[in-house]
Amino acid sequence: MTRSELISLIRQRKSFLCVGLDTDSDKMPAHLQGQPDGVFQFNKAIIDATIDYAVAYKPNIAFYESMGIEGLVQLKKTMQYLQSLDKKAFTIADAKRGDIGNTSQRYARAFFDASGDFNFDAVTVAPYMGEDSVLPFMGYPDKWVILLALTSNKGAADFQFLRDAQSGKQLFECVLERAAQWGTPDNLMFVVGATKATMLSQVRAIAPRSFLLVPGVGAQGGSLEEVCRYGLTEDCGLLVNSSRGIIYASNGTDFADRAAEEAQKLQKQMSQYL
């Protein structure tokens, strides 16, 4: 999906909501647990219930890998279902990959290859190994790298705020600056945690046009209003993710209805900022 297609989708649905498919077979409603294709059935119901209010879906790859090879079969079915729908959505593999060039090339193929099992629009990438670990993900037309800059977890403080003696910049700012030489706002987004919304203005000073994927609204405590105040651009420039708050709004048979309600609530708030 291109940048202009993504922006159109956001305008059309009046939403910049990304639904995180962190599907945990232990937290699914009891009637789906242990069912063949239970994980896919859960995801399908969540997608059907929320697609009018969301523009993106973000399966968290760890949750599928932790179910073994069968988990990846469920992920494949989920992606095939998303791609079969008339209503389009931007798809993100939340995978935090990154390795030396010839290896990142393989990860890129795993997530992006149109003839492969998944064919995602975007993948999250960790920056620690630098340029040649990121570039191979940029070799696919209309596909995106979403590079970790400032994450929403406590451990973010361990390294991301270190201040470079030479430039006076913090590590996450160095990442934003360097990465601007590797990609463009047409193929590169950044992960910026919502738990530090005021730092979004620091991010916008370096990356004024880039889309930001913002996790941490909801369960992790971030505020949508603050994210919009500091992060919103003319083209929206935001994808705000909610996972647990939507997909586990209920663990009863009404889980899809409750997910729809939560997604609609967020979409309504979002529409006011657009």
Q: Which residues bind its own copies (CB under 8 A)?
A: 22, 60, 62-63, 65-66, 68-69, 72-73, 76, 94, 96-101, 103-104, 106-107, 109-110, 113, 116-117, 126-134, 148, 151-160, 162-166, 168, 171, 174-175, 178
Residue 58 or 88: which CB sits closer to its own copies?
Answer: 58
Distance of closest approach, residue 268 Cβ to its own copies, in angstroms:
28
DSSP string over 195-263 = GGTTHHHHHHHH-SS--EEE--BSTT-B-HHHHHHHH-BTTB-EEEEESHHHHTS-SSTTHHHHHHHHH
**Nearest C-alpha neighbor of 246 from the set 266, 228, 226:** 266
Residue 103 or 251: which CB sits closer to its own copies?
Answer: 103
Distance of closest approach, residue 147 Cβ to its own copies, in angstroms:
10
Residue 99 or 261: which CB sits closer to its own copies?
Answer: 99
Identify whether 96 is a catalytic site residue.
yes
Residue 30 or 69: which CB sits closer to its own copies?
Answer: 69
Contact of 55 with 90, CB cutoff 8 Å? yes
**Nearest C-alpha neighbor of 40 from the set 95, 10, 68, 82:** 82
Q: What's the one-letter identity of residue 24? A: D
Which one of the listed residues 14, 27, 76, 96 is annotated catalytic?
96
Distance of closest approach, residue 93 Cβ to its own copies, in angstroms:
11
Contact of 26 with 61, CB cutoff 8 Å? no
User: Residues with catalytic annotation?
Assistant: 96
